Amino acid sequence: MLRYSLKRLLSLILSLAVASLVIFFVIEVAPGDPASFMLGINAQPDTVAALRAELGLDVPKAERYLAWVGGMVTGDFGTSYTYRTPVARMIADRLWVSLPLALYALMLSTLIACPAGIYAAARRGRPGDAVVMGATQLGVAVPNFWFAMMLVLVFAINLRWFGAGGFAGWDKGLLTGLHSLTLPAIALALPQAAILARVMRSALLDILGEDFMRTARAKGLSRRQALWRHAVRNALIPVLTIIGLQFSFLLAGAIIIEQVFYLPGLGRLVFQAISARDLIVVESVVMLLVFAVITVNFMVDLAYALVDPRLRART
């Protein structure tokens, strides 16, 4: 298990190094010089050159890459070209919204999906299964911003249980903060839950057909006992994979939901930074997301090994 974890950790570090290289150079070759963009099309060449020097864009690429990576390791993400404030602080502010939102949505989606998937698999071909599958079909098909608008219409405008948008902040207390994230989290979670429930169901159905399920029944386990004791854990591997993918999506892919609910999240920050050619912000946020994805995958890998002893043995 230790060897397995160390190997995974090594692969995590390598992935991060490669990802940072790719991000830096891809963004470097993207058209649009931040200095000329900031000064507008009528700017004098020497003014642009001066700004480039001030922004540190005139030093060689390799040097800039090393400085960028070195800075990130020590928590210095540089200064935003447009806002002239430290990128680290900008990201940290947004992360305080996006990370709880993503975790909240992920929790909701897992809490909805796992019971739904297990319920459907246990009642394969019966009305309960059909209802759950129909609902997930709808959940996959309907875009999350439509859910978002419906949630606002019903719970914010008609029932007035929640605000229609904006973020109250954490300083007014945990519950107030969570309260303002609830509708967006539900809107994000529903489509994810639909996918996850379908994965859970089909993984379970595969397992239910396995020989060892028949062995379990021959020992005297009831259908339900066999399902919970022998099938669920075996079905977790594909489910964990999807949960890992969903977390990365929820962290970065919430731009539309953040717009609908007017949340100051990471998605909106990236969107604004790309429009303003604020390369240093884009680079940093993308790198952060990559870091999050790779770390989550690392944790999913460790979870696999906890679930399946065969992976522990294979070093």
Both tokens of 266, joined, read: 């990471």
Q: Provide the minimum distance between the beta carbon of 50 and another protein in the complex, in angstroms, as a whole number.
A: 51
How many angstroms separate the CA atoms of 209 and 173, rounded? 49
Asked whether position 313 contacts another protein by CB under 8 A, the answer is yes
Closest CB to another protein among 161 and 212?
Answer: 212
| 3-state SS assignment for residue 79 | strand
Closest CB to another protein among 8 and 52?
Answer: 8
Using CB under 8 A, which of the segments 13-21, 86-94, 230-238, 252-260 binds another protein? Answer: 230-238
Closest CB to another protein among 216 and 289?
Answer: 216
Number of H helices, E strands in the chain: 15, 0
Decide if 251 contacts 188 (C-beta within 8 A). no
Asked whether position 229 contacts another protein by CB under 8 A, the answer is yes
Residue 172, classified by CB atoms within 10 Å of its CB into exposed (0-12), middle (13-18) or buried (19+), is exposed
Q: Count CB-CB contacts under 10 A for residue 12.
A: 17
Asked whether position 129 contacts another protein by CB under 8 A, the answer is no
Decide if 56 contacts 64 (C-beta within 8 A). yes
Which one of residues 142, 221, 255, 276 is an interface residue with another protein (CB under 8 A)?
Answer: 221
How many angstroms separate the CA atoms of 163 and 175, rounded? 14
Which one of residues 214, 227, 241, 268 is an interface residue with another protein (CB under 8 A)?
Answer: 214
81-117: buried (b, 16+ CB within 10 Å) or exposed (e) per residue?
bbeeeebbebbeebbbbbebbbebbbebbbebbbebb
User: How many chain residues interact with another protein (CB under 8 A)?
Assistant: 25
How many angstroms separate the CA atoms of 257 and 71, rounded? 31
Asked whether position 216 contacts another protein by CB under 8 A, the answer is yes
In this structure, the dihedral spanned by the alpha carbons of residues 155, 161, 167 and 170, taken in order and rounded to 10 degrees, is -140
Asked whether position 13 contacts another protein by CB under 8 A, the answer is no
Q: Provide the minimum distance between the beta carbon of 98 and another protein in the complex, in angstroms, as a whole number.
A: 35
Strand partners, 302: none
Which one of residues 29, 73, 218, 275 is an interface residue with another protein (CB under 8 A)?
Answer: 218
Using CB under 8 A, which of the segments 144-152, 221-229, 247-255, 289-297 binds another protein? Answer: 221-229
Asked whether position 111 contacts another protein by CB under 8 A, the answer is no
Closest CB to another protein among 35 and 231?
Answer: 231
Using CB under 8 A, which of the segments 44-52, 132-140, 219-227, 251-259 binds another protein? Answer: 219-227
Residue 308, classified by CB atoms within 10 Å of its CB into exposed (0-12), middle (13-18) or buried (19+), is middle
Closest CB to another protein among 85 and 315?
Answer: 315
Asked whether position 210 contacts another protein by CB under 8 A, the answer is yes
How many angstroms separate the CA atoms of 85 and 233, rounded? 48
Asked whether position 46 contacts another protein by CB under 8 A, the answer is no
Query: Where do contacts with another protein occur on this chain (CB under 8 A)?
Result: 3, 210-212, 214-222, 225, 229-230, 233-234, 307-310, 313-315
